[in-house]
Chains A and B, each alone.
Chain A
Amino acid sequence: MTKLDAKIPEGPLHNKWSFYKSNCNLVSPANKKKFDIIVVGTGLAGASAAASLGELGYNVKAFCYQDSPRRAHSIAAQGGINAAKNYQNDGDSVYRLFYDTIKGGDYRAREGNVYRLAEVSNSIIDQCVAQGIPFARDYGGLLDNRSFGGAQVSRTFYARGQTGQQLLLGAYSSLSRQVAKGTVKLYPRQEMLNLVVADGKARGIITRNLITGEIEKHSAHAVILATGGYGNVFFLSTNAMGSNTSAIWQAYKKGAFFGNPCFTQIHPTCIPVHGEQQSKLTLMSESLRNDGRIWVPKNKEDADKLKNKTITANSIKEEDRDYYLERRYPAFGNLVPRDVASRAAKERCDAGFGVNNTGLAVYLDFENSLKKLGKHVIEERYGNLFQMYEKIVDVNPYENPMMIYPAVHYTMGGLWVDYNLMTTIPGCFSMGECNFSDHGANRLGASALMQGLADGYFVLPYTLGEYLSKELKTPKLSTDNNSFVESEKEVKTRIEKLMSIKGKHTVDHFHKLLGKIMWENCGMGRNEAGLVKGIELIKELKKEFWKDVKITGETTEFNTELEKADRLANYFELGELMMTDALNRKESCGGHFREEYQTQEGEALRDDENFTHVAAWEFSGEDKTAILNKENLEFKDIDLKQRNYK
């Protein structure tokens, strides 16, 4: 087992980051110009990093698979971004944000990283306001806040239901400014298909030009991966259609360890599945739980009548409604963390109290708030979400309660990184959702935006300098170098192999089957038998895929089927690793719920003695079982407790 060094600075928790910043090595302005940096992904983490590094004077190349950096899926984040400003005078502090995040993550995140995250959160808000992001304000002209799950303070800043959009466009604006200045060059419609490692260091990437199909080689002194989550392994998720794991998966196969792959967040409030043709799921922001109450009928007969559509939700009397979150968790009520809310919904639906024709939905009801606050207030707070719901479901949520059900939303797992955000491959960094570091086994609402921007604006610009300060004598690497040629060959071989199969079934056919296996065996509830079976099923399906997939068109053209097939090939391998990790973690924590390990009340039961660690998986060869490495998590400032939201 490799010994993993997280490189957390010495000293008390609240001094670690300032100590690091005061003592880390720097790169002089003249030398920064000599360094080429590749940033893959232009979401909050990637765009903010590329812009900040450009400002510092590095030569930055920014890649994204979309047609513009502004499309990255951070744009779809609705609810808000957390910061410990304590503008509301309700008792918030950096320590409390840190504490809530560690607790929300069920004590499976690293103290040092999370404290730093909470510490820089305030600077993010300052930065974003200065960029001209139109956050919501109160009548005095000051910034407004709302509440989110897992916290008892109001610390979430928001821009209607489009906070992610506004923050991303802010980062995109800063990035665009650097593009105009010539410090950043954009490479849109390019997908990273391999990482180039030379002399043990990350030195470049291989990409496919998605318009021409050409395979390109790009060299640099460091490669920063900010490619988001891998929730699409489940086929149906709230991720964008193009969101994929390819970049981090190829980095994994080149030696970057993969941390806690099984930690998946199932978001409690999504629009339920409509049928077989469904291509993705739509989230309804967690912020709705501020004013909406979640319920199902108390009586099964009512649930059955609702399924048959013989009665409507509005006809069920108040006393016949079971506000099960308020009942089970009186202290946090509808604002319990996401994993808890999702499991509670599943529990009610499994017990036969679910609604909708499928029985797989619960109500999110605004009746009380509409009466108390008036329609105009609800409209102002959630207008765009209500409109979105009505367009998709064709039901007016001002008159009828929304129907929601949990869906795959976020992946806490990702590439293992140290305090510098560097993977186990020197020079290869990982930021935002595609690393594992800050959210433990469950992410709190409004913390993903915080992490993406913290990493990109305020962490990486320092830690990258620390790495590059030792690379001053490393010359640029020609793309004719053998390591580039080899990596390019790997990609070309894989593509040719895929194209030559000429089987019978489409890529989506296989992807849907994989998604079903993942959802059934590695979803909201997991158990040993299911996981063992799941791994076998994936192996079989993977074989089938490599024998029988049908990809039309040519390699040297715009070919979305080929893009999807290559992504799916990686998902098979990742899915297997997720299940292996889930099988190995014999405890329940956060979003990882092993049915064998639960309290009498059905809450997650951790095993701190044996599992207070990060599972960092190491690639050991094609079709071989990955090697498990452990980073023990030390909690010096927080006592490990059973999470209690009652």
Chain B
Amino acid sequence: MNLTLKIWRQKNAKTKGKFVTYKIKNVSEDSSFLEMLDQLNEQLISENQDSVAFDKCPVAFDHDCREGICGMCGLYINGRPHGPDLGITTCQLHMRKFKDGDTIVIEPWRAKPFPLIKDLVVDRSSFDKIIQAGGFVSINTGSAQDANAILISKKNADLSMDAAACIGCGACVATCKNASAMLFVAAKVSQFALLPQGKVEAVERVKNMISTMDELGFGNCTNTYACEVECPKLISVTNIARLNREFIHAKVIAEKERQISGGF
């Protein structure tokens, strides 16, 4: 198939970007979306006459595993994170979802906490910072008890796994009109809230992760559920409800502790 691509090009964070239109021919329906971009880049290199102009050089985009699990790829395609299919990452999107002659608009994730690096590449280290604030169980290597000493109901283990499936791609933030990271935070908080291992630090975890999320500039959740629709791992917004419950619980506990310790 032959396609027209309108791609966001931007040399770096300091300069202004723009849409640049490219034509591409003979794209196989069986190619993945990223393989189509590979093909475009090969074409741009071949046509390049020793130019360093950023719109004549290959398009920069993040990708790595190309099997939908590393979370590195993420393109905003025709107004939707990871494109028109459901439950997949950009690397799993295939060209058979498009028609010959289509015009495809490709943009980076746009959110304040994800500053742009180049073209379609953004900096998502704010997600790492949220995890560093509390997305762990404090256990040092070597101090664990026997694995089967902790019994966990299959139901809770399964629900925990549903939440833990998050790949940290940032589609939830990109699609949210508020650039909220609630689904991302909810997934990690829920994973631990559902397991006995996570109980000890539950109060501190949820408070710290939420406050870090706020400090980093992510917006509030206004329950539009776009995040659930676009999540490549189909993580449910019921996790956000659980996050809210954990957060309120943490606040109540904190209030009680303040009262007991002689506060007013």
Contact = CB atoms under 8 A, between A and B. Distances in A.
Interface in B140-196: 140-148, 150-154, 157-158, 160-161, 164-165, 167-168, 191-192, 194-195
Given A160-B161, A392-B92, A130 B168 contact: no
A139 B154 contact: yes
Interface string A369-388: 00000000000000000011
A502 B50 contact: yes
B110 interface: no
A308 interface: no
A282 interface: yes
A430 B67 CA distance: 27
A266 interface: no
Interface stretch (B1-9, B40-48, B244-252, B256-264): B40-48
Nearest to A457: B141
A451 interface: no
B154 A141 contact: yes
B117 A558 contact: yes
B125 to A, nearest CB: 7
B69 A165 contact: yes
B30 interface: yes
Interface stretch (A3-11, A100-108, A168-176, A254-262): A168-176
Contacts of A391: 68, 85, 88, 92, 94
B68 A388 contact: yes
B84 interface: no
Nearest to B121: A558
B28 A71 contact: no
A396 interface: no
A428 to B, nearest CB: 23
B114 to A, nearest CB: 11
B134 to A, nearest CB: 8
Contact of A552 (B57, B71, B192): B57
Interface string A162-187: 10011001001110110110000010
A188 interface: yes
A264 B38 CA distance: 27
B127 interface: yes
Contacts of B28: 274-275, 277
A229 to B, nearest CB: 14
A230 to B, nearest CB: 16
Interface string A108-125: 000000000000000101
Given A142-B148, A277-B31, A560-B60, A552 B48 contact: yes
A277 B72 CA distance: 21
B133 interface: yes
Contacts of A560: 58, 60
A282 B31 CA distance: 13
A73 B62 CA distance: 14
A127 B131 contact: no
B199 to A, nearest CB: 10
Interface in A48-97: 48, 51-52, 55, 66-73, 75-76, 85, 87
A392 B66 CA distance: 11
A76 B154 contact: no
A463 to B, nearest CB: 14
A512 to B, nearest CB: 10
A137 interface: yes
B251 to A, nearest CB: 22
Nearest to A456: B141
Task: Please give me the 6 A-B residue pairs with the lowest Cβ-Cβ distance, nearest first.
Answer: A141-B151, A173-B136, A130-B144, A126-B144, A134-B160, A134-B161
Interface of A: 48, 51-52, 55, 66-73, 75-76, 85, 87, 123, 125-143, 159-160, 162, 165-166, 169, 172-174, 176-177, 179-180, 186, 188, 211, 238, 240-242, 274-275, 277-280, 282-283, 387-388, 391-392, 394, 457-458, 461, 502, 506, 508-509, 550, 552-554, 557-558, 560-561
13 contacts: A67-B72, A68-B127, A75-B65, A129-B197, A130-B145, A138-B154, A165-B165, A173-B131, A173-B136, A282-B66, A388-B67, A391-B92, A558-B12
Given A506-B42, A552-B48, 17 more contacts: A52-B140, A52-B141, A66-B64, A67-B123, A71-B65, A87-B148, A126-B144, A127-B141, A127-B142, A141-B152, A162-B165, A277-B28, A277-B35, A391-B92, A558-B12, A558-B118, A561-B45
